């Protein structure tokens, strides 16, 4: 089953299925990608999935080159991008070729930006292997690297030709990575699909997960006999939210900003909490909780929404507290450098009800400080 991104400039499928990577050679031929293939993955993914995938492609008669970047956010850097350019250009990359980004958000962003810029653009295929990448970062064409002053400040829109998400890869993820990915799934429920949020609540209740069972979801995702179909269906539903938004706003000129729910403070917390090594989804979960508190303080939603979101995040093992010692003033100052700042004002994505958010640029700093102190 596939979903389709259709904008004024591009159309491409998103295929979410258990075992989807096995179909990659046929999919590439189907979409006319017949040049050389440049496979980029990270150290954690390469041995497990990269080499078997390269061999499968070679067995199908494709010429494949492989490049491995260090695992972790530090690879989204100008230095690592330069090494990627050296490999591509030194190897004779041509415009008819395609980059395959196999891994999580770091690999997708880095390889995507290289594909957007080398030779002024070559084809990109996103092959996400993390939950977060499957439901969010691999879809919609945002690519880029980090700057010393903030995340994702250097980049370009470059839509992939195909997104192929193999949910079987999720069974090998560490529990913490799965938990972090659930922040984005829950986010999609809050901003646009109340039914998805309720389904996640029902699943957690059925499985008996509690606030103290941080790995309950991860254990189920890795071992339950019914896991493949149920989890794949949840992922498709979350992907459908991202697709619907991108289809009406490809370049974040309007509705697409709603996908940044929890990210304004989340990005700032992620950057400043380097000593705690927060994952992106973990920081976003904290940002979502703070944003809901801001919304309640502004009279946009009730405390019941704040509590339901907090309880669901906790049920999937996500903390909503800022690490001890993190300065709220530093978080606010870092947030002011966010890409969503316009005319010196932060545009906040705030919930009004499950499945609906608004964008406001009139939130008093005192309200933000209070929310940060509360979390």
SS3 label, residue 352: strand
How far does CA 89 lie from the centroid of its chain?
28
- Which pLDDT belongs to residue 124? 98
Do 75 and 48 share a structural domain?
Answer: yes
Where in the sequence is the domain holding 309, given as residue range(s)? 183-374
Of the pLDDT bands very low, low, confident and very high (cuts 50, 70, 90), residue 240 is very high
The residue from 73, 184, 250, 270 that is catalytic is 184
Last residue of a domain, one of 129, 144, 172: 172
The CATH number covering residue 94 comes to 3.40.50.1970
| Mean pLDDT computed over 81-104 | 98
What CATH number does the domain containing 298 carry?
1.20.1090.10
Q: What is the pLDDT of residue 213?
A: 63
Residue 251 annotated to the active site: no
- Which residue among 187, 242, 310, 347 is the active-site one? 242
> How wide is the angle at C-alpha 28 spanned by C-alphas 23 and 33, nearest 5°?
175
| Residue from 27, 142, 192, 293 carrying the catalytic annotation | 142
The per-residue pLDDT for 339 is 60
11, part of any domain: yes
Is residue 257, in this structure, part of any structural domain at all? yes
For 248-283, write each residue's pLDDT tens digit: 999 888 899 999 999 999 989 988 887 668 899 999
> Which of 158, 188, 260, 289 is flagged as catalytic?
260
Last residue of a domain, one of 137, 172, 207: 172
DSSP 149-188: TEEEEEEEE---SEEEEEGGGGGGS-HHHHHHHHHHHHHH
Burial (CB < 10 A; 0-12, 13-18, 19+), residue 26, is exposed
Q: Do 253 and 235 contact (CB within 8 A), yes or no? A: no
191 lies in the same domain as 146: no
Q: Are 225 and 171 in contact (CB under 8 A)?
A: no
* Domain annotation covers residue 178: no
pLDDT of residue 306: 98
Dihedral in degrees, nearest 10, Cα atoms 296, 300, 306, 312? -160
Task: Give the tokens for residue 248.
Answer: 């009406």
Of 158, 179, 263, 293, which residue is the catalytic one? 263
Active site residue 280: yes
Answer yes or no: is 308 within a domain. Answer: yes
Q: Which residues is 333 bridged to in the sheet?
A: none
Beta strand segments in 238-360, E: 348-353, 356-360
Q: Residue 125: is its pLDDT beyond 60?
A: yes
Query: If pLDDT is split at 50, 70 and 90, which confidence band does 294 have?
Result: very high
Tens of pLDDT along 190-236?
999 999 999 999 999 988 776 546 788 888 887 776 778 899 999 99
Any domain includes 77 = yes
**Residue 275 confidence (pLDDT):** 61
Q: Which of the residues 151, 256, 289, 347 is marked catalytic? A: 256
pLDDT band at 46; cut points 50, 70, 90: very high
Q: Active-site residue 142, yes or no?
A: yes
pLDDT, mean of residues 157-168: 96
User: How many CB atoms neighbour CB 360 within 10 A?
Assistant: 16
Last residue of a domain, one of 126, 147, 172: 172
pLDDT confidence of residue 17: 95
Q: Which of 177, 250, 252, 282 is catalytic?
A: 252
Do 120 and 188 fall into the same domain? no
| Claim to verify: residue 60 and residue 206 sit in the same structural domain | no
Residue 54 in tokens: 């390269």
Same domain, 117 and 159: yes
Residues 162 and 202 in one domain: no
For residue 156, tell me if it sits in a domain. Answer: yes
Residue identified by tokens 């008093």 is 364
User: Rounded mean pLDDT of the chain?
Assistant: 92
- Is residue 263 among the annotated active site residues? yes
User: Is 152 considered catalytic here?
Assistant: no
pLDDT digits (tens, 9 = 90+) for 326-362: 888 888 888 877 666 766 789 999 999 999 999 999 9
Is-contact 369 328, C-beta < 8 A?
yes
Residue count (the chain): 375
> pLDDT at position 281, please?
95
Catalytic residue among 267, 271, 289, 293: 267
256 is annotated as an active-site residue:
yes
* Same domain for 152 and 221: no
How much is the average pLDDT of 9-13?
Answer: 93
Catalytic residue status for 158 = no
Q: Are residues 162 and 48 in the same domain?
A: yes
C-alpha span between 264 and 315 (Å, rounded) = 23
Q: Is 120 a catalytic residue?
A: yes
Question: Domain count of the chain?
Answer: 2
């Amino acid at each position: 089953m596939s979903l389709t991104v259709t904008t004024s400039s591009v159309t491409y499928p998103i295929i979410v299925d258990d075992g989807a990577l096995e179909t990659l050679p046929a999919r590439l031929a189907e979409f006319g990608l017949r040049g050389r293939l440049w496979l980029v993955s990270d150290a954690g993914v390469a041995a497990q999935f990269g080499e078997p995938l390269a061999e499968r492609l070679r067995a199908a008669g494709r010429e494949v080159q492989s490049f491995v970047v260090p695992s972790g956010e530090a690879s989204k850097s100008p230095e690592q991008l330069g090494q990627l350019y050296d490999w591509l250009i030194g190897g004779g990359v041509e415009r008819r070729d395609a980059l395959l980004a196999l891994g999580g958000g770091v690999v997708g962003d880095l390889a995507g930006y290289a594909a957007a810029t080398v030779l002024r653009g070559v084809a990109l295929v996103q092959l996400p292997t993390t939950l977060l990448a499957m439901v969010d970062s691999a879809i919609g064409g945002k690519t880029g690297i980090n700057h010393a002053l903030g995340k994702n400040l250097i980049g370009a829109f470059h839509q992939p030709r195909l997104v192929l998400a193999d949910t079987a890869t999720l069974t090998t993820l560490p529990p913490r990575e799965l938990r972090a990915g659930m922040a984005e799934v829950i986010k999609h429920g809050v901003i646009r699909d109340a039914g998805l949020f309720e389904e996640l609540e029902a699943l957690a209740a059925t499985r008996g997960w509690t606030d103290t069972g941080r790995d309950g979801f991860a254990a189920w995702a890795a071992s339950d006999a019914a896991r493949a179909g149920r989890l794949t269906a949840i992922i498709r539903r979350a992907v459908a939210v991202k697709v619907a938004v991108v289809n009406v706003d490809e370049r974040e000129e309007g509705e697409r900003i709603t996908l940044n729910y929890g990210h304004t403070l989340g990005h700032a917390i992620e950057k400043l909490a380097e000593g705690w090594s927060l994952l992106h989804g973990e920081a976003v979960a904290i940002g979502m909780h703070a944003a809901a508190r801001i919304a309640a303080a502004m009279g946009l939603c009730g405390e019941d929404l704040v509590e339901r979101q907090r309880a669901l995040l906790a049920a999937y093992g996500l903390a909503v507290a800022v690490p001890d010692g993190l300065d709220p003033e530093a978080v606010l100052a870092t947030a002011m450098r966010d890409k969503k700042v316009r005319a010196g004002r932060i545009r906040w994505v705030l919930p009004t009800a499950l499945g609906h958010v608004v964008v406001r640029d009139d939130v008093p700093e005192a309200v933000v400080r209070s929310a940060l102190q509360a979390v």
